[in-house]
Structure 1
Protein backbone atom coordinates (compact mmCIF):
# COMPACT_ATOMS: atom_id res chain seq x y z
CA UNK A 1 0.00 0.00 0.00
CA UNK A 2 1.11 3.54 -0.80
CA UNK A 3 2.46 5.33 2.29
CA UNK A 4 0.44 8.39 1.29
CA UNK A 5 -2.75 6.33 1.62
CA UNK A 6 -1.79 5.41 5.18
CA UNK A 7 -0.83 8.96 6.12
CA UNK A 8 -4.19 10.27 4.87
CA UNK A 9 -5.97 8.45 7.71
CA UNK A 10 -3.43 9.09 10.50
CA UNK A 11 -4.30 11.27 13.47
CA UNK A 12 -0.71 12.26 14.30
CA UNK A 13 -0.80 12.23 18.09
CA UNK A 14 0.98 13.77 21.05
CA UNK A 15 -0.91 13.57 24.35
CA UNK A 16 1.84 13.13 26.94
CA UNK A 17 1.38 15.06 30.17
CA UNK A 18 4.74 16.81 29.80
CA UNK A 19 4.22 17.90 26.18
CA UNK A 20 5.58 21.36 25.42
CA UNK A 21 4.52 23.88 22.79
CA UNK A 22 7.71 23.24 20.82
CA UNK A 23 6.89 19.53 20.70
CA UNK A 24 3.29 20.25 19.72
CA UNK A 25 4.46 22.62 17.01
CA UNK A 26 6.65 19.85 15.56
CA UNK A 27 3.63 17.53 15.49
CA UNK A 28 1.65 20.22 13.66
CA UNK A 29 4.44 20.90 11.16
CA UNK A 30 4.91 17.20 10.43
CA UNK A 31 1.16 16.62 10.15
CA UNK A 32 0.93 19.33 7.51
CA UNK A 33 4.05 18.17 5.66
CA UNK A 34 2.93 14.55 5.47
CA UNK A 35 -0.77 15.29 4.88
CA UNK A 36 -2.05 13.56 8.01
CA UNK A 37 -5.80 13.49 8.65
CA UNK A 38 -5.36 15.57 11.81
CA UNK A 39 -3.08 16.35 14.71
CA UNK A 40 -4.47 15.02 18.00
CA UNK A 41 -3.23 17.18 20.89
CA UNK A 42 -4.16 18.14 24.47
CA UNK A 43 -7.05 20.60 24.89
CA UNK A 44 -4.82 23.29 26.40
CA UNK A 45 -2.97 23.63 23.09
CA UNK A 46 -5.99 23.71 20.76
CA UNK A 47 -6.45 27.47 20.47
CA UNK A 48 -2.76 28.15 19.89
CA UNK A 49 -2.51 25.25 17.46
CA UNK A 50 -5.50 26.42 15.42
CA UNK A 51 -4.04 29.92 15.20
CA UNK A 52 -0.72 28.39 14.11
CA UNK A 53 -2.06 26.08 11.36
CA UNK A 54 -5.09 28.03 10.15
CA UNK A 55 -6.92 25.96 7.55
CA UNK A 56 -3.93 23.76 6.66
CA UNK A 57 -4.75 20.99 9.14
CA UNK A 58 -7.63 19.61 11.20
CA UNK A 59 -7.09 19.89 14.94
CA UNK A 60 -8.30 16.98 17.07
CA UNK A 61 -8.42 16.92 20.86
CA UNK A 62 -9.51 14.65 23.71
CA UNK A 63 -12.37 14.88 26.21
CA UNK A 64 -12.67 13.12 29.58
CA UNK A 65 -9.20 11.81 28.87
CA UNK A 66 -7.84 9.28 29.66
CA UNK A 67 -10.11 7.81 32.36
CA UNK A 68 -13.58 8.82 31.21
CA UNK A 69 -15.08 9.23 34.68
CA UNK A 70 -15.69 12.98 34.56
CA UNK A 71 -19.34 13.97 34.85
CA UNK A 72 -21.28 14.45 31.65
CA UNK A 73 -21.61 18.18 32.38
CA UNK A 74 -17.81 18.51 32.57
CA UNK A 75 -17.33 16.56 29.33
CA UNK A 76 -19.90 18.71 27.55
CA UNK A 77 -18.20 21.88 28.78
CA UNK A 78 -14.80 20.53 27.68
CA UNK A 79 -16.25 19.79 24.25
CA UNK A 80 -17.87 23.20 23.84
CA UNK A 81 -14.65 24.88 24.93
CA UNK A 82 -12.56 22.81 22.51
CA UNK A 83 -14.89 23.57 19.59
CA UNK A 84 -14.85 27.28 20.47
CA UNK A 85 -11.05 27.17 20.47
CA UNK A 86 -10.96 25.66 16.99
CA UNK A 87 -11.05 21.87 17.38
CA UNK A 88 -12.61 20.12 14.39
CA UNK A 89 -12.53 16.60 15.81
CA UNK A 90 -13.29 15.37 19.33
CA UNK A 91 -12.15 12.05 20.83
CA UNK A 92 -14.11 11.36 24.04
CA UNK A 93 -13.70 8.57 26.61
CA UNK A 94 -16.82 6.77 27.82
CA UNK A 95 -17.57 6.17 31.50
CA UNK A 96 -16.29 2.60 31.73
CA UNK A 97 -17.78 2.12 35.20
CA UNK A 98 -21.23 2.82 33.75
CA UNK A 99 -20.61 0.12 31.16
CA UNK A 100 -19.54 -2.38 33.81
CA UNK A 101 -22.71 -1.50 35.79
CA UNK A 102 -24.82 -1.90 32.64
CA UNK A 103 -25.97 1.72 32.83
CA UNK A 104 -26.37 1.72 29.06
CA UNK A 105 -28.84 4.62 28.90
CA UNK A 106 -26.40 6.84 30.81
CA UNK A 107 -23.64 6.09 28.31
CA UNK A 108 -25.91 6.61 25.31
CA UNK A 109 -27.27 9.89 26.65
CA UNK A 110 -23.77 11.16 27.44
CA UNK A 111 -22.50 10.41 23.94
CA UNK A 112 -25.56 12.10 22.44
CA UNK A 113 -25.03 15.21 24.59
CA UNK A 114 -21.37 15.44 23.62
CA UNK A 115 -22.25 14.87 19.98
CA UNK A 116 -24.68 17.79 20.15
CA UNK A 117 -21.95 19.91 21.74
CA UNK A 118 -19.69 19.04 18.78
CA UNK A 119 -22.02 21.18 16.66
CA UNK A 120 -21.45 19.22 13.47
CA UNK A 121 -17.79 18.41 14.10
CA UNK A 122 -16.55 14.80 14.13
CA UNK A 123 -16.96 12.78 17.35
CA UNK A 124 -14.92 9.64 18.04
CA UNK A 125 -15.98 7.51 21.03
CA UNK A 126 -13.12 5.80 22.89
CA UNK A 127 -14.29 2.58 24.57
CA UNK A 128 -10.90 1.36 25.96
CA UNK A 129 -11.15 -2.19 24.63
CA UNK A 130 -8.37 -3.59 26.86
CA UNK A 131 -10.63 -3.13 29.91
CA UNK A 132 -13.73 -4.69 28.36
CA UNK A 133 -15.18 -8.15 27.85
CA UNK A 134 -16.24 -9.20 24.38
CA UNK A 135 -19.87 -8.74 25.42
CA UNK A 136 -19.12 -5.18 26.54
CA UNK A 137 -17.31 -4.38 23.29
CA UNK A 138 -20.29 -5.61 21.27
CA UNK A 139 -22.67 -3.58 23.46
CA UNK A 140 -20.59 -0.45 22.86
CA UNK A 141 -20.74 -1.04 19.11
CA UNK A 142 -24.54 -0.99 19.45
CA UNK A 143 -24.57 2.11 21.67
CA UNK A 144 -22.19 4.12 19.49
CA UNK A 145 -24.22 3.16 16.42
CA UNK A 146 -27.40 4.42 18.10
CA UNK A 147 -25.74 7.59 19.39
CA UNK A 148 -25.06 9.16 15.98
CA UNK A 149 -21.31 9.57 16.66
CA UNK A 150 -19.12 9.31 13.59
CA UNK A 151 -16.46 6.94 14.96
CA UNK A 152 -15.85 4.24 17.53
CA UNK A 153 -12.25 4.18 18.78
CA UNK A 154 -10.41 1.32 20.43
CA UNK A 155 -8.15 2.92 23.00
CA UNK A 156 -6.63 5.93 24.72
CA UNK A 157 -3.11 4.51 24.56
CA UNK A 158 -2.84 5.26 28.29
CA UNK A 159 -4.29 2.02 29.72
CA UNK A 160 -3.03 -1.56 29.87
CA UNK A 161 -2.98 -2.10 26.08
CA UNK A 162 -3.81 -0.45 22.78
CA UNK A 163 -5.55 -1.53 19.59
CA UNK A 164 -5.58 -5.16 18.55
CA UNK A 165 -6.42 -6.69 15.19
CA UNK A 166 -9.08 -8.83 16.90
CA UNK A 167 -10.86 -5.80 18.35
CA UNK A 168 -11.00 -3.96 15.04
CA UNK A 169 -12.30 -7.11 13.38
CA UNK A 170 -15.00 -7.41 16.05
CA UNK A 171 -15.97 -3.74 15.71
CA UNK A 172 -16.24 -4.08 11.95
CA UNK A 173 -18.63 -6.97 12.47
CA UNK A 174 -20.93 -5.32 15.02
CA UNK A 175 -20.86 -1.57 14.41
CA UNK A 176 -23.48 0.06 12.20
CA UNK A 177 -22.76 1.21 8.65
CA UNK A 178 -22.95 4.84 9.77
CA UNK A 179 -20.00 4.42 12.17
CA UNK A 180 -16.33 4.34 11.21
CA UNK A 181 -13.54 2.69 13.21
CA UNK A 182 -10.43 4.30 14.65
CA UNK A 183 -7.63 2.07 15.90
CA UNK A 184 -5.26 3.71 18.38
CA UNK A 185 -2.51 2.78 20.79
CA UNK A 186 0.58 0.75 19.98
CA UNK A 187 0.46 1.01 16.18
CA UNK A 188 4.19 0.67 15.69
CA UNK A 189 4.83 -0.11 12.03
CA UNK A 190 3.58 0.45 8.50
CA UNK A 191 2.70 -3.25 8.40
CA UNK A 192 0.50 -2.81 11.50
CA UNK A 193 -1.17 0.19 9.89
CA UNK A 194 -1.90 -1.73 6.70
CA UNK A 195 -3.33 -4.66 8.65
CA UNK A 196 -5.64 -2.42 10.68
CA UNK A 197 -6.83 -0.76 7.49
CA UNK A 198 -7.49 -4.12 5.82
CA UNK A 199 -9.65 -5.12 8.81
CA UNK A 200 -11.80 -2.01 8.52
CA UNK A 201 -10.09 0.83 10.39
CA UNK A 202 -10.65 4.15 8.60
CA UNK A 203 -8.57 6.23 10.99
CA UNK A 204 -5.36 5.45 12.92
CA UNK A 205 -4.27 7.22 16.09
CA UNK A 206 -0.50 6.99 16.31
CA UNK A 207 2.62 9.01 16.97
CA UNK A 208 4.90 6.55 15.20
CA UNK A 209 3.82 6.28 11.56
CA UNK A 210 4.80 9.84 10.60
CA UNK A 211 8.07 9.42 12.53
CA UNK A 212 8.84 6.18 10.68
CA UNK A 213 8.29 7.76 7.27
CA UNK A 214 10.19 10.88 8.31
CA UNK A 215 13.08 8.67 9.44
CA UNK A 216 13.07 6.72 6.18
CA UNK A 217 13.25 9.97 4.22
CA UNK A 218 16.17 11.13 6.34
CA UNK A 219 18.02 7.90 5.47
CA UNK A 220 17.19 8.33 1.79
CA UNK A 221 14.78 5.39 1.50
Structure 2
Protein backbone atom coordinates (compact mmCIF):
# COMPACT_ATOMS: atom_id res chain seq x y z
CA UNK A 1 0.00 0.00 0.00
CA UNK A 2 1.27 3.46 -0.91
CA UNK A 3 0.74 5.33 2.37
CA UNK A 4 1.90 8.68 0.94
CA UNK A 5 -1.22 8.87 -1.26
CA UNK A 6 -3.29 9.08 1.94
CA UNK A 7 -1.41 12.03 3.45
CA UNK A 8 -2.52 15.67 3.53
CA UNK A 9 0.42 17.99 4.16
CA UNK A 10 -0.45 21.25 5.93
CA UNK A 11 1.37 24.51 5.17
CA UNK A 12 -0.36 26.75 7.69
CA UNK A 13 2.25 28.67 9.66
CA UNK A 14 1.41 32.38 9.56
CA UNK A 15 4.99 33.36 8.71
CA UNK A 16 5.24 31.21 5.55
CA UNK A 17 6.78 32.92 2.54
CA UNK A 18 6.11 32.24 -1.12
CA UNK A 19 9.49 30.52 -1.35
CA UNK A 20 8.59 28.30 1.64
CA UNK A 21 5.34 27.38 -0.12
CA UNK A 22 7.21 26.51 -3.31
CA UNK A 23 9.74 24.34 -1.47
CA UNK A 24 7.09 22.48 0.51
CA UNK A 25 4.92 21.81 -2.52
CA UNK A 26 7.95 20.57 -4.47
CA UNK A 27 8.68 18.17 -1.60
CA UNK A 28 5.05 17.00 -1.52
CA UNK A 29 5.13 16.28 -5.25
CA UNK A 30 8.40 14.38 -4.81
CA UNK A 31 6.93 12.31 -1.95
CA UNK A 32 3.67 11.80 -3.88
CA UNK A 33 1.37 12.86 -1.05
CA UNK A 34 -2.33 13.26 -1.76
CA UNK A 35 -2.97 16.90 -0.89
CA UNK A 36 -1.54 20.13 0.38
CA UNK A 37 -3.59 22.24 2.80
CA UNK A 38 -3.13 26.01 2.69
CA UNK A 39 -4.82 29.20 3.84
CA UNK A 40 -7.23 30.71 1.29
CA UNK A 41 -4.68 33.43 0.50
CA UNK A 42 -2.27 30.84 -0.93
CA UNK A 43 -4.77 28.69 -2.87
CA UNK A 44 -4.19 30.20 -6.33
CA UNK A 45 -0.39 29.93 -6.02
CA UNK A 46 -0.60 26.39 -4.60
CA UNK A 47 -2.82 25.29 -7.50
CA UNK A 48 -0.29 26.69 -9.98
CA UNK A 49 2.59 24.90 -8.26
CA UNK A 50 0.76 21.61 -7.65
CA UNK A 51 -0.51 21.15 -11.18
CA UNK A 52 -2.12 17.73 -11.50
CA UNK A 53 0.24 16.15 -8.96
CA UNK A 54 -1.53 17.31 -5.78
CA UNK A 55 -4.99 18.20 -4.59
CA UNK A 56 -5.13 21.67 -3.03
CA UNK A 57 -7.24 21.97 0.09
CA UNK A 58 -8.19 25.35 1.58
CA UNK A 59 -8.38 25.54 5.35
CA UNK A 60 -11.30 27.80 6.23
CA UNK A 61 -11.41 29.85 9.45
CA UNK A 62 -8.19 28.32 10.79
CA UNK A 63 -7.21 28.00 13.58
CA UNK A 64 -10.12 28.94 15.85
CA UNK A 65 -13.23 28.92 13.67
CA UNK A 66 -14.30 32.29 15.07
CA UNK A 67 -15.55 33.83 11.82
CA UNK A 68 -19.27 34.10 11.20
CA UNK A 69 -21.09 31.60 8.98
CA UNK A 70 -21.29 34.25 6.25
CA UNK A 71 -17.54 34.94 6.41
CA UNK A 72 -16.81 31.22 6.18
CA UNK A 73 -19.10 30.86 3.16
CA UNK A 74 -17.28 33.74 1.47
CA UNK A 75 -13.89 32.10 2.17
CA UNK A 76 -15.20 28.79 0.81
CA UNK A 77 -16.54 30.29 -2.41
CA UNK A 78 -13.40 32.33 -3.02
CA UNK A 79 -11.16 29.31 -2.39
CA UNK A 80 -13.16 27.15 -4.80
CA UNK A 81 -13.03 29.89 -7.44
CA UNK A 82 -9.24 29.99 -7.02
CA UNK A 83 -8.99 26.26 -7.66
CA UNK A 84 -9.23 24.47 -4.32
CA UNK A 85 -10.62 20.95 -4.71
CA UNK A 86 -11.26 20.35 -1.01
CA UNK A 87 -12.21 22.49 1.98
CA UNK A 88 -11.40 21.91 5.65
CA UNK A 89 -13.72 24.16 7.64
CA UNK A 90 -12.87 24.81 11.28
CA UNK A 91 -15.77 24.66 13.72
CA UNK A 92 -16.30 27.48 16.19
CA UNK A 93 -15.35 25.61 19.36
CA UNK A 94 -16.39 28.49 21.59
CA UNK A 95 -19.94 28.38 20.18
CA UNK A 96 -20.04 24.60 20.46
CA UNK A 97 -18.96 24.69 24.10
CA UNK A 98 -21.61 27.35 24.73
CA UNK A 99 -24.32 25.09 23.33
CA UNK A 100 -24.87 27.29 20.28
CA UNK A 101 -25.32 26.00 16.75
TM-score, L = length of structure 1: 0.44
- Structure 1 unaligned runs (5+)? 107-221
Residues in 2 aligned to 1:27 and 1:38: alpha-carbon distance in whole angstroms? 12
Give per-residue Cα distances to partners, 1:53-108, cap 9 Å, x unaligned.
222210012111111110000000000000100111111111112211212xx2xx
Q: Which residue of 1 aligns with 2:31?
A: 34
Residues in 1 aligned to 2:7 and 2:88: alpha-carbon distance in whole angstroms? 14
Secondary structure (helix, strand or coil) at the match of 1:8 reads helix
Give the length in aligned residue pairs: 101
Asked which structure has the greater CA Rg, the reply is: 1
Secondary structure (helix, strand or coil) at the match of 2:23 reads helix
- Structure 2 unaligned runs (5+)? none
Q: Does the aligned pair in 1 maintain the 2:39–2:60 contact within 8 Å?
A: no
Q: Does the aligned pair in 2 maintain the 1:12–1:40 contact within 8 Å?
A: yes
Q: Does the aligned pair in 2 maintain the 1:39–1:57 contact within 8 Å?
A: yes
Q: Which residue of 2 aligns with 1:98?
A: 95
The reply to whether residue 62 of structure 1 matches residue 59 of structure 2 is yes
Runs of 4+, deviation exceeding 6 Å: none
Q: Which residue of 1 aligns with 2:77?
A: 80
